[in-house]
Structure 1
Amino acid sequence: MFNKPFNSSSFELQSKRLPNGLVGKLLSKGKVFPFAIATETISTAAVKDFPPSAMRKAEKDKIKPLFWNEEELFQESFSMWSQIYFMFSALVRVFLFLFLPLFYILLFVGLAFGEGGWDERKQDFYDVTLYIFIPLLIPYLHYKLVSQGYFFLAPFLRSKPLFRLNRTEGTVTLYKDNGEVNFTHPFIEFDCVLMSSPTAQGHLNYVLTLAHRYNNYSVGVPLHTLIGSNQMVAEYHRLWNMIQRYMDVSQPMPDIMVLEPSRSRDAITEAHDKCIKRPTRYWRDMSDEEFSETIEKIRQEQEENPSFGHVLNIFKDD
C-alpha cells in the first residue's frame, strides 16, 4: 500500500519472492542483505566527502536543496553531455599540467644545452603556445568557473534523476534515462542484493541493488552509487543499515552531516535528539579537520561492531 511509511515494529508480512524475477536472477550471482533493526552504524564512505565547509557553503548559497532531507533521498546522475564535458575537461588538464610543461622543459633544456639557438626553436614555441596552449586554456578556465558555481556558463550540464527513497511515504522510485518514472513501490517490497564482478586487474567491483520482489523488472535501484563500487563488503552492509535506518519511521534518522539541518523537522528524530541532548549543530560547527578525524574514529570503532541489528523476518510462513 502506498503512502504508508516503513515501520520496523509494525509491518505487513510479505509474500515469498518470485523465483523467476530479477531477484531470482541476482540471487544466482549475489547475496541478499536481510531487513533488520537498524543500528546507529553509518557508511563513512557515503559521508566523508561532504565536510562542514561544504555544508556551510550549501546553506549559504541555497542554489539547490540538499539531496537528502527528512522526507526523501533524491539521487541524481550526470547526463551524457555532462559526462562528455567532464571527460574532456580531464583530458585538457592532463595536457595543460603534464604534456605541455614537459614540452616547454625539453624546449628550454635544448635551448640551454643543445645545438642551435632561439631562432631554430622559436617557431615550435609559438606554434605550441598559439595553437595548443591558448586553445586548451579557454576550456580549462571555463571548467574552473563552472566549478566555482557559475553554472549559467554551462547550461548543458544538467543532471538527471536516478532514484528516490521517500521516508514519509515509505516508497522507492526508479527513473528512466529520460527522467520519467520507471516504477514506484513500497520499500518493504524490495530485496537488497550485493553482486560482485572482477576487473581486468583482478580486483572486485561491487553493485548494491534494490530489486523489486514481485515484478519481473530488468533493472533495479543502484544504491552503490552513494559510495562507489570499490568499497569493502562490510561498507555495503553499513550502507544498507543506514538506508534502513532512514526509511524506518520508528527510529531517528541517521546521524550524518547532510541530514543534520532536517533533524528538527522529523518528529521521531527531534524527540530523540532532545532526549540525548544532542547539539543541533554537532557536525556543522566542526572544522573540516575535526570532521575527518571524527569520521575516521567512527570508521575504526565500527570495524569492531556488527553492521546491523536483529534480523527481521518479513515473510509470511509457508
Structure 2
Amino acid sequence: MEKREDLLAEAGDQGQLDQESICYAPLAFRSKLIHVFEVYGKGFFCVGLAVSIFMYVTGVFELGPNTTWRSAFFELWPLFFVLAGVPGLMWLSSTLVFTLFPRWSVKAGRGPEWELDRRKGMVRVWRYRRRIPFIGRRTITVFEAPFYEFDGFVAGGVARYGARFDFVLCHRYSKLKVHIGDSLLGWHHNPRPCYALWDFLQNYMDVSCALPEFPVLEPHRHKDPVTAEHDRKSGRPERYWRDMDDKTFKQKEDEMLSRVLSIDTEQRPNLMAKKVRYAHMTPEDMLAYGRGSRQGRNGARAPRPSVGHAQRDWK
C-alpha cells in the first residue's frame, strides 16, 4: 500500500490528514459516482444473487413436475437480471473503469470544505456560491475562527431504521455549523462515537500534547517535535501500527471500539452549568450539576452535559 502511487496527490487533491491539519476536500462528482456504483453494486449483487438462487430452487419445485432446471431458468431470468444482473454490471463497470483509467477516475473536487489547523489553532470553513446555479464563476468565502470558540454538539435524528446521530461543530458567536462527523464518521445509531470524536479532536488540536494514537497519523508522528519526544521517551516503535499483524490489529481495533462504547462523557461534570443558566433550573440546581451531580436540589434531573465542554482526558 505504501508503494502505490498517490493518485490523490497527482489529481491535485487539497485534503490533508497529518500533524499539521485535518482538511476535508471531497472528490469530484464522477469519482463519487464510481465509488457509489462499486459499493452499492457489490452489496446488492451479493444479496440479489442469494435471493435469485433461493427463488430458482424453489421455483423448480413449484412450477410442476414437468418443469426442468433449464425451463425454470428461462422462466425467471428477467427477475434474476434485475436482482443480480444490474447490480453486478454496476460493480463490474466501476471496477473496470477504475482499473483501466485510474487517473481519470480520481479527480479533485472544487476545493476544501473545512479545515482544523493544528499549528495555528484555527478552524476554517469554505463556502462556494454562484449567483446563477451552474453558470458563471464561483464566489469563494472563507470563514476563520479559533478552535476554542467552537462547541461540539451531537445532532440526533430519526430514520426508518431508528435513531441517527451526527457530530457538529458550532461556532459560539455566529450561526456557523460544521458537520464534521458526517465527513469523518458518518451517521451512527449510537451517540458515543460522536463523543469519542470530540475528545479526539480536542486532543489533536492540543499542540502541548502528543498526537493521538491513530494509525493514519503514524507516518507523521516524527514530524511533530512534541510527539517525537514523547515516542522517544516511551520507547514507542516508529512503525507500531504498520508492522502489526492482522490478528493483533483486529484485537486492538476491538479494544478501541470497546473504549468508545463505554466512554463516560455523559457522567462528566458540566462545565457550562457554571457559566450559563439552563431553563427550569434554580441556582442551587446549577451549582449541584456543575459539580457533576445529575440530581437537583428537589430531586429533578438536570439536562445532559454539553458534549462541547467535555474534559480532554481520553486518548
TM above 0.5: yes
Residues 215 and 116 of structure 1: is their aligned pair in 2 closer, same or farther, counting only changes over 3 Å? closer
Task: Show structure 1 runs of 5+ residues with no match.
Answer: 1-56
Q: Distance in 1 between matches of 2:35 and 2:22?
A: 25
Question: TM-score scaled by structure 2?
Answer: 0.63
Q: Counterpart in 2 of 1:54?
A: none
User: Which residue of 243, 251, 271 corresponds with 1:285?
Assistant: 243
Q: Which amino acid aligns with 1:204?
A: A
Given the alignment of the two structures, is residue 225 of structure 1 paired with residue 187 of structure 2, yes or no?
Answer: no
Residues 94 and 229 of structure 1: is their aligned pair in 2 closer, same or farther, counting only changes over 3 Å? closer
Give yes or no for contact 2:168–2:178 (8 Å, CA) kept in 1. yes
Q: Counterpart in 2 of 1:237?
A: 195
Question: TM-score scaled by structure 1?
Answer: 0.62
Given the alignment of the two structures, is residue 141 of structure 1 paired with residue 99 of structure 2, yes or no?
Answer: no
Residues 89 and 310 of structure 1: is their aligned pair in 2 closer, same or farther, counting only changes over 3 Å? same
RMSD (Å) for aligned C-alpha atoms: 4.4
Give yes or no for contact 1:173–1:181 (8 Å, CA) kept in 2. no
Secondary structure, counterpart of 1:61 in structure 2: coil
Cα distance, 1:207 vs structure 2: 2.2
Q: Counterpart in 2 of 1:212?
A: 171
Secondary structure, counterpart of 2:123 in structure 1: strand
Matched positions, count: 258
* CA-to-aligned-CA distance 1:23-70 (integer Å, 9 cap, x gap): xxxxxxxxxxxxxxxxxxxxxxxxxxxxxxxxxx14543333684101
Cα distance, 1:149 vs structure 2: 8.8
Residues 312 and 71 of structure 1: is their aligned pair in 2 closer, same or farther, counting only changes over 3 Å? farther
* CA-to-aligned-CA distance 1:201-256 (integer Å, 9 cap, x gap): 4x321121111122233x33423431222153333222111111111111111011
Task: Show structure 2 runs of 5+ residues with no match.
Answer: 10-14, 130-137, 277-315
Give yes or no for contact 2:164–2:190 (8 Å, CA) kept in 1. no
User: Which residue of 160, 180, 184 corresponds with 2:144?
Assistant: 184
Give yes or no for contact 1:163–1:221 (8 Å, CA) kept in 2. no
Given the alignment of the two structures, is residue 254 of structure 1 paired with residue 207 of structure 2, yes or no?
Answer: no
Cα distance, 1:198 vs structure 2: 2.5
Give yes or no for contact 1:176–1:182 (8 Å, CA) kept in 2. yes
Q: Which amino acid aligns with 2:119?
A: T
Q: Distance in 2 between matches of 1:185 and 1:251?
A: 22
Larger RCO (CA under 8 A, 6+ residues apart): 1
Q: Distance in 1 between matches of 2:194 and 2:71?
A: 60
Give yes or no for contact 1:73–1:165 (8 Å, CA) kept in 2. yes
Given the alignment of the two structures, is residue 194 of structure 1 paired with residue 154 of structure 2, yes or no?
Answer: yes
Residues 205 and 144 of structure 1: is their aligned pair in 2 closer, same or farther, counting only changes over 3 Å? same
Residues 299 and 263 of structure 1: is their aligned pair in 2 closer, same or farther, counting only changes over 3 Å? same
Fraction of identical pairs, as percent = 22
Please give the residue correspondences for 1:150-189 in structure 2 after superposition, counting only pairs within 5 Å.
150-154=101-105, 158=109, 161-176=112-127, 180-189=140-149
